[in-house]
C-alpha cells in the first residue's frame, strides 16, 4: 500500500519521500515502485519518460527524520494500534511545518486515537486508499472529532484534484464505509469454507460467475492479506460487538501459521512467488 501511494504521488508530479524501517526495506520499496511503473509502461498505461520521471522524483530512505520538511505525510505501516500510535507521536516531533497534514491509511483504526498521540489533532485525518492504489480510483476521507474543516478540505482537494481519485467521506468508525460492508462478506465466505459447506474455489467461482464480482471473496481476502483482514475484523468486533464481525477460528489459525495469502504464496489459494 505504501509503495502504491508513493507511486501515485510521484506520477502526479509531486516531490515524494518514502520512509521505510531501514535501508534494506527502502531498497525493496524502490524495487516495488520501479516494478509497478514498468508494468504500467508495458501495458500502455504510462509513457516510458513519465515512468522514469516519477522514479527520479522519489527518494527512498530508512530515516524518519527525512520527513521533516514534508507538507503531507501519509502513514501506511502495519495495521497495529501501538505501531501506528508510535509513528504519529514521532511524526509530531519531526515534521516541522505546524500546518502540515498527518494522514493515516488505516483500514479500521480510530483516527481520533492517532490524532491524540500528537499535539496537532486538528491536522490528523484518515486518507484510506485501496489496493492496488495506482488502479483503484477510490479514497475514503475520515475525519475525527478534532479534524479541522481546513484539513478536510485540503486532503479532499489533494486526493481529487492532484491524484485524480474519487473521494467519499466517512465518520470515524471502525471499518469506515467500505470495510464495514466488505469484511462481514469476506468473513461469511471464510465460515462457509471452514464448515466444509463448499470449497474455496467453488465459493469464489460462485461469486465471480453468479454475481459478476471481478474477484471471489477468498481470493480478495488473499489479496488484501489474511492478517490485515483479521486485524480489521478484530477492530470492527471491538467497536460494535456484533457476531458478524468476529474473525472465524480458521482465519486466526491461518494467520498464526503465516499463511497470509498472496504475499506469502499461500492462503485460501496457492500463488507463484517467482
- Residues 117-127: pLDDT tens digits? 999 999 999 99
Residue-number span of the structural domain to which 196 is assigned = 178-264
Question: What is this structure's pTM?
Answer: 0.88
The predicted structure's pLDDT at residue 79: 86
Question: Are 73 and 37 contained in the same domain?
Answer: no
Q: Tell me if 125 sits within 8 A of 88, measured CB to CB.
A: no
- Co-location of 164 and 258 in the same domain: no
| Beta strand residue intervals within 47-162, DSSP E | 58-61, 72-75, 101-104, 124-129, 138-143
Per cent of the chain over pLDDT 70 is 100
Residue where a domain stops, chosen among 40, 62, 84: 62
Residues designated catalytic: 107, 128, 140, 179
Q: For helices 200-210 and 178-195, what crossing angle results, to 10°? A: 130
Residues 66-93, mean pLDDT to the nearest whole number: 96
Q: Are residues 54 and 79 in the same domain?
A: no
Pairing outcome for strands 101-104 and 72-75: parallel
Cβ 223 vs Cβ 131: under 8 Å: yes
Burial of 175 (0-12, 13-18, 19+ CB in 10 A): buried
User: If pLDDT is split at 50, 70 and 90, which confidence band does 131 have?
Assistant: confident
Q: Given this model, what pLDDT does residue 273 score?
A: 73
Single residue among 146, 172, 198 that ends a domain in this structure: 172
264 by Cβ neighbours in 10 Å (0-12 / 13-18 / 19+) ranks as middle
Mean pLDDT of the chain: 96
Q: What is the pLDDT of residue 4?
A: 95
Residues 129/132/137/140 CA torsion (nearest 10 deg): -20
pLDDT of residue 274: 57
Closest of 146, 106, 108, 107 to residue 124, by C-alpha: 146
pLDDT tens profile 166-208? 999 999 999 999 999 999 999 999 999 999 999 999 999 999 9
Same domain? For 77 and 156 the reply is yes
Q: Is residue 272 part of a domain?
A: no
Domain end marker among 172, 189, 222: 172
Report the domain count for the chain: 3
Mean pLDDT (whole number) for 139-168: 97
Are 107 and 184 found together in one domain? no
Percentage of residues in the chain with pLDDT exceeding 90? 95
Residue 271, domain member (yes or no): no
> What CA–CA distance (Å, rounded) separates 218 from 200?
7
The answer as to whether 154 is a domain residue is yes
Give me the mean pLDDT over the 224-248 stretch.
94
Q: What is the pLDDT of residue 149?
A: 97
Same domain, 227 and 133: no
Q: Is the pLDDT of residue 248 over 80?
A: yes
Mean pLDDT (whole number) for 50-72 = 97
Give the mean pLDDT of 200-222: 98
Judged against a pLDDT cut of 70, whether residue 15 lies above it is answered with: yes
Domain contains 167: yes
Amino acid at each position: 500500500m505504501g509503495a502504491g501511494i508513493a507511486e501515485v504521488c510521484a506520477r502526479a508530479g509531486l516531490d515524494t519521500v518514502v520512509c521505510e524501517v531501514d535501508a534494506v526495506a527502502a531498497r525493496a520499496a524502490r524495487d516495488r515502485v520501479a516494478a509497478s511503473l514498468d508494468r504500467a509502461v508495458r501495458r500502455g498505461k504510462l509513457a516510458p519518460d513519465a515512468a522514469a520521471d516519477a522514479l527520479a522524483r522519489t527518494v527512498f530512505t530508512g530515516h524518519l527524520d527525512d520527513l521533516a520538511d514534508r507538507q503531507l505525510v501519509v502513514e501506511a505501516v502495519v495495521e497495529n494500534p501501538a505501531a501506528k500510535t508510535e509513528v504519529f507521536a514521532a511524526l509530531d516531533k519531526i515534521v516541522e511545518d505546524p500546518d502540515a497534514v498527518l494522514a493515516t491509511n488505516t483500514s479500521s483504526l480510530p483516527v481520533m486515537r492517532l490524532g491524540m498521540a500528537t499535539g496537532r489533532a486538528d491536522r490528523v485525518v484518515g486518507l484510506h486508499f485501496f489496493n492496488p492504489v495506482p488502479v483503484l480510483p477510490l479514497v475514503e476521507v475520515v475525519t475525527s472529532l478534532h479534524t479541522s474543516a481546513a484539513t478536510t478540505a485540503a486532503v479532499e482537494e489533494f486526493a481529487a484534484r492532484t491524484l485524480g481519485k474519487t473521494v467519499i467521506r466517512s465518520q470515524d468508525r471502525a471499518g469506515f464505509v467500505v470495510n464495514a460492508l466488505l469484511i462481514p462478506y469476506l468473513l461469511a465466505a471464510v465460515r462457509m469454507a471452514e464448515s466444509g459447506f463448499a470449497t474455496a474455489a467453488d465459493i469464489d467461482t460462485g461469486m465471480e460467475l453468479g454475481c459478476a464480482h471481478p474477484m471471489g471473496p477468498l481470493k480478495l481476502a488473499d489479496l488484501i492479506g489474511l492478517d490485515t483482514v483479521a486485524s480489521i475484523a478484530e477492530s470492527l468486533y471491538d467497536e460494535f460487538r456484533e457476531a458478524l464481525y468476529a474473525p472465524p477460528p480458521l482465519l486466526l489459525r491461518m494467520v498464526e501459521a503465516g499463511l497470509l495469502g498472496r504475499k506469502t504464496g499461500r492462503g485460501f489459494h496457492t500463488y507463484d512467488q517467482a
